[in-house]
């Protein structure tokens, strides 16, 4: 069947398109306009904006920690019924797919899958409808990685281990969370920085990050090592962020939710936005990419594999409840939190995130996230798009914040407004490139027909919350913000080459250390259900 989206304003930065034109779909793919012949179906999208489906590179949507978050705060569950408010975090698996699709998002990456819990993460992903998914596998606090580094076991062993873990957990990339910090916390360490050493192993956080970064590059993984730095949320942690950027040393490195590291110690409260300095460091380091982790005001629950940080945050829980799980390797910390516009610190966090969006000049290297649900639930995205595209709206929000908070940021002085092309780059073209997804994030012939159409509205948040039309694999799934069909997408994985000897080595290791075979952690397709499908993403070499 040939489908034509006729006469819309097409924004496709990957192909330099930014003007009125048509987009054609056939058999789930975008095709060139046919020489002859007629569309079987035409959607008149004149006056509307036509973009590729959006891609979220970092959103905690599935896994054991997420479900413990759901169970910790059942009161966040305001359900999807119209008129009953916006869901603020219940995001059951089904709601997750439906709410993302309604905003025009068609691919979402769960960024923190613990290898031992990988099967649960994939079971949850299997229950998320409409969107395509992917998972980043967490390494760096596990005994095997630390043991390799302590034993100076060589780069090849690390590569084989990374490849083995990705195959076992069916990951799309590798993440490290407070490298060594979770392990150190088990030894009663309470603060942990880039050059601190993990007790017993004598390995620094920096050495872990570097070894994993090199491993990822050598394996040819499309996505760079995804780093959750040390000292998240701590005043003065700008130094940690800048040092970690410098540690990239010209090789690809992705720093996650950097808003949480954009803090100085200036001002009367000893807490200030250091976003301008951080943006400058990002602008200068061309091999580094970042996502923001924007904070928005309201109740949420923070979910992180950074157990040390979450433990230190437990006493600021709002409402007062939390779970700290000393897991195998990282584990998880779940802490309820309520960001308040009248709270000095929260106001600075909000402003720092927007400063980063606006002061980082290259939309190909800064990504749109709230670190869902940590800065805000993903349902807050439409409001953030509106703030980025409208300086008057920002001024309105700023006028409601504590003046002493505004005084320690530069946000009021920033006039930049994101263009449609920049939005499309940041949320479509750039994430596809960052993840190695050649047939997503653009509208060229051969691309997967994941398409979002928006009807311009003075209220930009409403426009982004309720896409006019969304196509997934060429099928209409959303009309005027309402779900019209609920197909199931695919889960993206990489399988880099590895020396087969690693299988035996890991089997022996698990037997000796755990008295178990690694079968318990192996994501076996036969138990995931027939609906669940993987899609292979090629490595670079």
Partner 1 sequence: MTEAWIRGKPVTLAAATGEAARLLGASRMPVIAGLGTDVAGVRAAIALARQVGGAIDHMHAATLLRDLDVMRESGMMTTTPNEARLRADLLLLIGPGLVQAWPELRTRLLATPEGVTRRIVWLCGGSEAETAGTPVEIIGGAPEDLPALLASLRARCAGRPGGNTAQALSALASDLGNVKFGVAVWSAAALDALTVEMLCGLVRDLNATTRFSGLPLAPADNAAAVLQASGWMTGLPPRTGFARGAGEHDPWRFDAVRLVESGEADCAVWISAWSATTPAWKRDVPTVVLAHDDGLRDKAQVTIMVGRPGLDHDAVTYLAATGTLAPLLAAQKSAALSVADALDRIAAQLPAGPPC
Residues that bind partner 1 (CB under 8 A): 62, 64, 66-68, 70-74, 76-77, 79-81, 90-94, 116-117, 119-120, 123-124, 127, 185-188, 311, 314, 317, 320-328, 331, 513-516, 519-522, 524, 526-527, 529
Q: Which is nearer to partner 1, 289 or 312 (CB)?
A: 312
Q: Which is nearer to partner 1, 119 or 351 (CB)?
A: 119
Q: Which is nearer to partner 1, 61 or 227 (CB)?
A: 61
Q: Which is nearer to partner 1, 119 or 292 (CB)?
A: 119
Q: Which is nearer to partner 1, 268 or 319 (CB)?
A: 319
Determine contact, residues 414/37, Cβ cutoff 8 Å. Answer: no
Distance CA 295, CA 355 (A): 12
Least distance in Å: CB of 147 to partner 1? 13
Distance CA 528, CA 120 (A): 10
Q: Which is nearer to partner 1, 34 or 529 (CB)?
A: 529
DSSP characters for 476-501?
A: EEEETTEE-------EEE------TH
Beta-ladder partners of 298: 339
Least distance in Å: CB of 370 to partner 1? 19
Q: Which of 409, 355, 396, 346 is nearest to 375 (CA)?
A: 346
Q: Which is nearer to partner 1, 126 or 278 (CB)?
A: 126
Least distance in Å: CB of 342 to partner 1? 25
Distance CA 279, CA 284 (A): 9
Least distance in Å: CB of 520 to partner 1? 4
First vs last Cα of the chain: how many Å apart?
36
Q: Which is nearer to partner 1, 67 or 137 (CB)?
A: 67
Q: Which is nearer to partner 1, 364 or 534 (CB)?
A: 534
How would you label 79-89 residue by residue, b for 16+ Cβ within 10 Å and e otherwise? ebeeeeeebbb
Least distance in Å: CB of 102 to partner 1? 17
Q: Which of 487, 482, 422 is nearest to 450 (CA)?
A: 487
Q: Which is nearer to partner 1, 123 or 475 (CB)?
A: 123
DSSP characters for 435-477?
A: HT-TTSSS-STTSB--EEEE---SSHHHHHHS-SEEEETTEEE
Distance CA 535, CA 541 (A): 18
Least distance in Å: CB of 127 to partner 1? 6
Determine contact, residues 102/470, Cβ cutoff 8 Å. Answer: yes
Least distance in Å: CB of 466 to partner 1? 20
- How many residues can be counted in the chain? 541
Least distance in Å: CB of 335 to partner 1? 9
Max CA distance (Å), the chain: 71
How would you label 345-370 residue by residue, b for 16+ Cβ within 10 Å and e otherwise? bbbbbbbbbbbbbbbbeebebbbbbb
DSSP characters for 169-210?
A: HT-SEEEEESTTHHHHHHTT-----TTPEETTTTEEHHHHHH
Least distance in Å: CB of 67 to partner 1? 4
Distance CA 79, CA 396 (A): 29
Least distance in Å: CB of 529 to partner 1? 7
């Amino acid at each position: 069947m040939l489908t034509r989206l006729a006469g819309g304003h097409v924004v496709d930065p990957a192909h330099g398109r930014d003007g009125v034109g048509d987009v054609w779909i056939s058999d789930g793919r975008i095709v060139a306009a046919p020489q002859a012949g007629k569309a079987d179906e035409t959607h008149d999208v004149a006056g509307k904006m036509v973009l590729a489906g959006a891609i979220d590179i970092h959103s905690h949507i599935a896994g054991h920690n997420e479900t413990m978050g759901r169970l910790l705060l059942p009161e966040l569950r305001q359900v999807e019924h119209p008129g009953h408010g916006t869901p603020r975090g219940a995001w059951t698996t089904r709601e997750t797919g439906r709410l993302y699709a309604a905003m025009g998002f068609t691919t979402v990456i769960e960024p923190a899958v613990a290898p031992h819990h990988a099967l649960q993460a994939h079971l949850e992903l299997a229950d998320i409808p409409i969107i395509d998914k992917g998972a980043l596998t967490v390494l760096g606090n596990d005994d095997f990685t630390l043991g390799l580094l302590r034993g100076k076991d060589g780069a090849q062993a690390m590569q084989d281990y990374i490849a083995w873990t990705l195959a076992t957990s069916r990951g799309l990339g590798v993440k490290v969370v407070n490298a060594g910090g979770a392990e150190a916390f088990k030894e009663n360490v309470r603060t942990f920085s880039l050059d601190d050493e993990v007790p017993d192993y004598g390995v620094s956080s920096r050495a872990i990050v570097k070894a994993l970064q090199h491993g990822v590059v050598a394996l040819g993984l499309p996505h760079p090592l995804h780093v959750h730095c040390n000292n998240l949320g701590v005043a003065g942690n700008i130094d940690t962020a800048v040092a970690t950027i410098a540690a990239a040393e010209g090789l690809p490195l992705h720093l996650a939710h950097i808003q949480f590291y954009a803090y100085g110690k200036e001002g009367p409260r000893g807490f200030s936005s250091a976003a301008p300095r951080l943006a400058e460091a990002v602008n200068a380091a061309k091999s580094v990419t970042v996502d923001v982790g924007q904070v928005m005001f309201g109740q949420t629950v923070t979910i992180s594999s950074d157990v040390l940080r979450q433990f230190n945050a437990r006493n600021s829980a709002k409402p007062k409840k939390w779970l700290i799980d000393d897991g195998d390797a990282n584990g998880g910390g779940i802490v309820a939190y309520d960001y308040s516009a009248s709270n000095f610190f929260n106001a600075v966090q909000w402003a720092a995130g927007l400063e980063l969006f606006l002061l980082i000049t290259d939309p190909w290297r800064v990504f749109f996230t709230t670190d869902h649900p940590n800065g805000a639930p993903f349902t807050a995205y439409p409001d953030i798009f509106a703030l980025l595209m409208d300086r008057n709206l920002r001024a309105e929000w700023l006028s409601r914040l504590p003046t002493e908070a505004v005084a320690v940021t530069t946000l009021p002085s920033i006039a930049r407004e994101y263009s449609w092309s920049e939005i499309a780059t940041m949320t479509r073209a750039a994430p596809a490139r960052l993840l190695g997804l050649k047939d997503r994030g653009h509208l060229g012939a051969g691309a997967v027909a994941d398409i979002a159409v928006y009807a311009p509205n003075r209220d930009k948040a409403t426009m982004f919350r309720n896409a006019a039309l969304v196509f997934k694999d060429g099928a209409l799934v959303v009309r005027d913000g309402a779900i019209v069909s609920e197909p199931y997408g695919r889960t993206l994985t990489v399988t880099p080459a590895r020396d087969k000897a690693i299988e035996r080595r890991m089997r022996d290791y698990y037997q000796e250390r755990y008295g178990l075979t690694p079968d318990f952690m192996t994501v076996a397709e036969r138990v995931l259900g027939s609906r669940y499908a993987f899609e292979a993403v090629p490595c670079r070499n």
